[in-house]
Structure 1
């Protein structure tokens, strides 16, 4: 092009975006988001779990990152954290699976023996505080005579057992796949966490302003508080009650301690584990130990649920514990186990919005 016409080589200035273009771009963005969610719908739980675990472990990861600055490729520290977190979940599951396998073999042998010889009324039934006669009569009618016991166990048809086995195997394979994708996602979140945080902040400011970032921070704080209040307190309850199980003579106290720790992460569910452990201690022949174990367990659960958790969760989420409890229980009902952490985060965001909208006009934000 001739130097006499330099403007001919310059790019034309961009046209201002019209209203129709803005609407079309918004609709395209919404459509792509919906299509993306539909594409990833089977993996959304894995992504959500990875996000929750990354948020919970992020303070510790940042301290480790400052202590040992990453190298050029930033692989070792994220991989180490991912492996440690994976083992934290896998080791208790493997212990429970091994113990369940041992118990299953014992149950099968006991059923075979019961079908051939019958099962006499155990002594612990005669030590029940109430209902001794009724329980003894039902046992004699169904289990004492070998023919009655054989009929009872034969009523569990093999077809139903095979169907249940296939369903359990399918669920285990599905959960294992999701867990693997959770760990893969977690590794990349640890590796690219700082960049992801910066991108989310920019998107939040552009879409919702400074209030959007504030709500996001509050939701993250609620996840931290929920992890402290549910997971850590649940582990503490499991450890403390596991010792009590061993002292009371409950069979498999370590296994029951792990089960109690998992159950204690959901409010009031630890009562079921304590009641079952107390019943097994009673069946073992010690009514005093069973009663003491049950009372001690109820005291531990009461203190944890009414004093420790409200401080840890309510202080982080800035919510009354009633709303924390509703968020937890409602979240579990709708989202499953993931709702333990998603529910309080949603409640924290809603309450923050309510406080913002309901504040007096002259009160600063």
Structure 2
């Protein structure tokens, strides 16, 4: 009697073992993802910041005696200071403005002029607007009291948005600290990335794809920050020349909005309206309005010029990846989208080029034809 199992039974046992191992691996991967998921956004930001700031880290490292830890720590401290200073002044200015507005309302010194009679003739909204304006001009306190219940939901929503922005800012600071640790171990991290790419796409292409990902992240980051800085200078000069109150603070707000990829007309249009309201219509105000409005839209011209610099991929691929990534994943998608699209673009054309390579038989046939 044979003690060996039939081939069918051995195959079924092997297949069962494979399924069990695959299931255990899938459970392990899912468990690791669940544990790491709360920190995923923060770690992605840290990786993007580390890749972007690493050239500056190398420059500081050369001047600080080739000490990675000291250079990375100094760079993180400087970056946090650059972020906190404008945020502090912005918060202080907003607090003072709100307190001044509250004191003005409490003192009763706010006087709203009566509405022009022509407003009542406006179609659809004329009569309600005239009535509301007239009530506010005669008894502002009662109007504010009647609006208070309606403003409660808006105020709570605004406070929740501000709280979300504050939490996001703290996460960004934490990501910056983690990026400092990554920069301190940058060389070993680069080697690890090469090893992972070797395992995934092969030894012959791993280095080029790691270089492509690094260059894409840096190009997008430098393009975004560079465009935001240029717009801050252009719009800030206009604010200063026109004598806008708090011109420097407003310019810093323009910089922050540009980095966060928010539309700058959010700040330029109210400033233009303020200038027309206080200065009236003149040649200077019209020129300022056109200059400021065009400056707020300047990123639409600069993005195609700056986003794809230094990357071995056509600029439209980077631009589409940045815009599509931002729409799909927010600000962090602005960096991940171009990387994914650039890698996919390169893999696609390598696959196309590989299919066009002649076989050994074709090469021999061509050689015979050339000899004849």
Deviations 1:173-224 (A, max 9, x none): 6335423431331221121111111111112102221334433321221111
**Partners of 1:359 and 1:113 in 2: how far apart?**
77
1:184-199 correspondence to structure 2 within 5 Å: 184-199=177-192
Query: SS in structure 2 opposite 1:41?
Result: helix
The 3 A distance-change label for structure 1 pair 316 and 154 is same
TM-score, normalised via structure 1 length: 0.78
**Partners of 2:138 and 2:191 in 1: how far apart?**
72
Shift of 1:239: 2.0
Query: SS in structure 2 opposite 1:44?
Result: helix
**Partners of 2:171 and 2:261 in 1: how far apart?**
26
Query: SS in structure 1 opposite 2:245?
Result: coil
Q: Report the equivalent of 2:3.
A: none
Q: Report the equivalent of 2:287.
A: 292
Segments of 5+ residues of structure 2 without an aligned counterpart are 1-13, 359-372
Deviations 1:239-296 (A, max 9, x none): 2211211212323212221122223346681233222221121222243344222311
Deviations 1:149-173 (A, max 9, x none): 33454344557646754x3575366
* Alpha carbons 1:118, 1:149 under 8 Å: kept: no
1:175 equivalenced with 2:168 (yes/no): yes
Shift of 1:142: 5.3
1:37 equivalenced with 2:33 (yes/no): yes
**Partners of 1:235 and 1:327 in 2: how far apart?**
22
The 3 A distance-change label for structure 1 pair 105 and 31 is same
Q: Report the equivalent of 1:305.
A: 300
1:87 pairs with 59, 74, 81, which one? Answer: 81
Structure index of larger Rg:
2
**Partners of 1:349 and 1:240 in 2: how far apart?**
35
Q: Report the equivalent of 2:211.
A: 217
Deviations 1:119-138 (A, max 9, x none): 22699xx9xxx99x959847
Q: Report the equivalent of 1:275.
A: 269
Segments of 5+ residues of structure 1 without an aligned counterpart are 1-17
* Alpha carbons 1:256, 1:277 under 8 Å: kept: no
TM-score, normalised via structure 2 length: 0.76
The 3 A distance-change label for structure 1 pair 184 and 299 is closer
* Alpha carbons 2:72, 2:180 under 8 Å: kept: yes
Q: Report the equivalent of 1:324.
A: 318
Q: Report the equivalent of 1:59.
A: 55
1:261 pairs with 246, 249, 255, which one? Answer: 255
**Partners of 2:321 and 2:131 in 1: how far apart?**
43
1:226 pairs with 206, 220, 224, which one? Answer: 220
**Partners of 2:57 and 2:19 in 1: how far apart?**
42
The 3 A distance-change label for structure 1 pair 244 and 197 is same
Q: Report the equivalent of 1:346.
A: 340
1:107-118 correspondence to structure 2 within 5 Å: 107-112=101-106, 118=111
**Partners of 1:146 and 1:190 in 2: how far apart?**
62
* Alpha carbons 2:307, 2:319 under 8 Å: kept: no
**Partners of 1:157 and 1:353 in 2: how far apart?**
54
**Partners of 2:161 and 2:335 in 1: how far apart?**
26
RMSD of the TM alignment (CA)? Answer: 3.6
Query: SS in structure 2 opposite 1:43?
Result: helix
Aligned residues: 336
Shift of 1:47: 1.0
**Partners of 2:151 and 2:227 in 1: how far apart?**
42
1:143 equivalenced with 2:136 (yes/no): yes
Instruction: Answer with 215-224 or 310-319: which moved more.
Output: 310-319
The 3 A distance-change label for structure 1 pair 312 and 35 is same
Q: Report the equivalent of 1:68.
A: 64
Instruction: Answer with 33-42 or 231-240: which moved more.
Output: 33-42
The 3 A distance-change label for structure 1 pair 275 and 117 is closer
